[in-house]
């Protein structure tokens, strides 16, 4: 299949691993992911193991977060990639093909090829070509990249390529129904099976938060100088989002904006200037998820869940992890009215969804909101069952949907 490689070059480690897997009664699932230590990668792998799969993760590695995480499952590395470097990603994808070929003995024992994003879907489809058509191929999408929704020939070509791959999958998994309704149905005309599994916390992570000491030391923030503290945690992205935050910070010196996490799609020089120009916006680096979540959310009044990076498309459709984290820990979220997340917040009554103009709406909220009104929303949030924010039967249904009927009957 790949030039320069033959059956005898299969590594001894791979042959031993394949033998080990063949001795186990569980089904083997190959999970193709963009980053070993991304929270969603870890969450999915844990869930699949809990529901009867032996998981081996084939992924790239990025110098981002959770670098000290030690996976209890097998990992096969494709190489290192960096956000935004698309030519490099294409080269690394080509470099991944020999890696797959070397592990073909293991891959032939898989029942499911589960792929995050189109890069990994291409690898999964190629894997099925040389391992046999009986494997179930699943395509998971947590964000619809701007390269698929812009105008021009490049985006049109990417949509065409994705449509060809969609014809070869058994199941589409999205983290928000907005992705299916507004993109895969309306634009890509995908008519196959769809499963929605939101970015809720894995129950093991939620258990960590429950076990943590409520009185653990909070981050040292100058709370006494500010009326409100707004936290923006996780993947921090989008020039338009930062521009909005900066304008609001300048008009609301009584509000502190507290940022933690990984910077992505933001120029470092711009971000440095952004911080120097706004003394009430502070950034204190990465954190450990879920270990640091209780302390982070315990130090703030609002969870910033406003994403304007692709305001007319992806930002409007998504349901981000930070909303579920914030809500589970009793902190109201901020989003935008008529966004998928804004509608969820309004329907549950667990935060504020600002209307246009966003800047004026946020300034009015921070200046006019009383402690009594804020406390009523917090009290309402704490009456919402935790099952709204923790993954449950949706994972079981997904695993069932990936099981061929003849296997489910055994």
Q: What is the pLDDT of residue 79?
A: 83
DSSP string across 221-279? --GGG-SEEEEEEEEEE-HHHHHHHHHHHHH-TTEEEEEEEEEESS-HHHHHHHHHT-T
Q: Is the pLDDT of residue 68 over 90?
A: no
Confidence of residue 48 (pLDDT cuts 50, 70, 90): very high
Pairing of strands 333-336, 194-196: unpaired
Q: What is the pLDDT of residue 132?
A: 83
Of the segments 36-40, 102-106, 262-266, 288-292, which one has the largest average pLDDT value? 102-106
Q: What is the pLDDT of residue 69?
A: 75
User: Which CATH number applies to 206-388?
Assistant: 3.40.50.2000
Q: What is the pLDDT of residue 5?
A: 33
Of the segments 61-65, 242-246, 260-264, which one has the largest average pLDDT value? 242-246
Q: What is the pLDDT of residue 92?
A: 83
Confidence of residue 406 (pLDDT cuts 50, 70, 90): low
Average pLDDT of span 204-229: 81
Task: Choose between 23 and 139: higher pLDDT.
Answer: 139
Average pLDDT of span 131-155: 93
Confidence of residue 223 (pLDDT cuts 50, 70, 90): confident
Task: Choose between 359 and 25: higher pLDDT.
Answer: 359
DSSP helix/strand/coil, 17:
helix
Q: What is the pLDDT of residue 219?
A: 78
Average pLDDT of span 33-44: 88
Instruction: Give me the sheet containing 281-283, strands edge to edge.
Output: 281-283, 255-264, 228-237, 302-304, 333-336, 351-354
Ranges of CATH 3.40.50.2000 domains, the chain: 7-198+391-408, 206-388
Least confidently predicted of 131-140, 202-211, 293-302: 202-211
pLDDT tens profile 78-130: 988 766 566 777 888 899 999 999 999 999 999 999 999 999 999 999 999 98
Confidence of residue 407 (pLDDT cuts 50, 70, 90): low
Q: How many percent of the chain have pLDDT more than 90?
A: 69
Average pLDDT of span 189-204: 94
Q: How many percent of the chain have pLDDT more than 70?
A: 88
Residues 6+ apart with CB under 8 A from 212: 294
User: Between vectors from CA 308 to CA 157 and to CA 189, what angle results, nearest 5°?
Assistant: 35
Q: How high does pLDDT run on average in the chain?
A: 88
Q: What is the pLDDT of residue 74?
A: 94
pLDDT tens profile 328-384: 999 999 999 999 999 999 999 999 999 989 999 999 999 999 999 999 999 999 999
Average pLDDT of span 33-58: 91
Q: Is the pLDDT of residue 324 over 60?
A: yes
* Closest to 71 (Cα-Cα) out of 92, 96, 45: 45
- How many other β-carbons are positioned within 10 Å of the β-carbon of residue 275? 15
Q: What is the pLDDT of residue 65?
A: 61
Q: Taking the C-alpha atoms of 387, 388, 389 and 394 in order, what is their torsion angle to the nearest 10 degrees?
A: 80
**pTM of the predicted protein model:** 0.88
Q: What is the pLDDT of residue 82?
A: 66
Q: What is the pLDDT of residue 70?
A: 80
Average pLDDT of span 250-274: 92
For domain 7-198+391-408, the CATH architecture is 3-Layer(aba) Sandwich (3.40)
Q: Is the pLDDT of residue 408 over 70?
A: no
């Amino acid at each position: 299949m790949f030039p320069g490689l033959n059956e005898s070059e299969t590594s001894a480690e791979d042959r031993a691993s394949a033998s080990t897997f063949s001795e186990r009664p569980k089904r083997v699932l190959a999970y193709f992911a963009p980053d070993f230590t991304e929270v969603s990668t870890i969450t999915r792998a844990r869930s699949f193991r809990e529901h009867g799969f032996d998981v081996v993760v084939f992924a790239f590695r990025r110098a981002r977060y959770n670098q000290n995480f030690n996976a209890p499952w097998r990992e096969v590395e494709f190489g290192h990639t960096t956000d935004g470097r698309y030519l490099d990603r294409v080269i690394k994808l080509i470099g991944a093909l020999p890696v797959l070929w070397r592990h073909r003995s293991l891959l032939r024992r898989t029942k499911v090829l589960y792929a995050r994003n189109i890069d990994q879907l291409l690898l999964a489809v190629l894997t099925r070509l040389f391992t046999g058509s009986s494997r179930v191929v699943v395509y998971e999408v947590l964000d619809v990249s701007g390269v698929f929704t812009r105008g021009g020939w490049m985006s049109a070509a990417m949509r065409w390529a994705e449509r060809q791959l969609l014809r070869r999958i058994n199941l589409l998994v999205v983290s928000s129904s907005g992705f299916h309704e507004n993109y895969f149905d309306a634009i890509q005309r995908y008519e196959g099976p769809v499963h929605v599994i939101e970015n809720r916390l894995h129950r093991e992570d939620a258990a960590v938060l429950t076990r943590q000491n409520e009185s653990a030391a909070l981050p040292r923030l100058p709370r006494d100088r500010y009326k409100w503290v707004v936290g923006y945690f996780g993947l921090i992205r989008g020039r338009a989002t930062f521009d909005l935050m900066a304008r609001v910070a300048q008009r609301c010196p009584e509000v502190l904006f507290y940022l933690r996490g990984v910077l992505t799609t933001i120029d470092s020089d711009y971000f440095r200037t952004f911080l120097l120009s706004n003394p009430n916006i502070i950034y204190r680096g990465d954190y450990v998820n879920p270990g640091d979540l209780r302390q982070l959310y315990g130090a703030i009044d609002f969870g910033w869940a406003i994403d304007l990076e692709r305001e007319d498309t992806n930002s409007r459709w998504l349901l981000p992890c930070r909303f579920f984290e914030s809500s589970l820990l009793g902190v109201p979220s901020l989003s935008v009215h008529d966004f998928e997340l804004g509608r969820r917040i309004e329907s549950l009554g667990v935060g504020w969804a600002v209307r246009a103009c966003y800047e004026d709406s946020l300034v009015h909220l921070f200046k006019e909101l009383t402690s009594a009104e804020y406390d009523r929303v917090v009290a309402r949030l704490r009456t919402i069952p935790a099952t709204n924010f923790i993954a449950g039967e949706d994972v079981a249904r997904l695993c069932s949907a990936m099981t061929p009927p003849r296997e489910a009957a055994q």
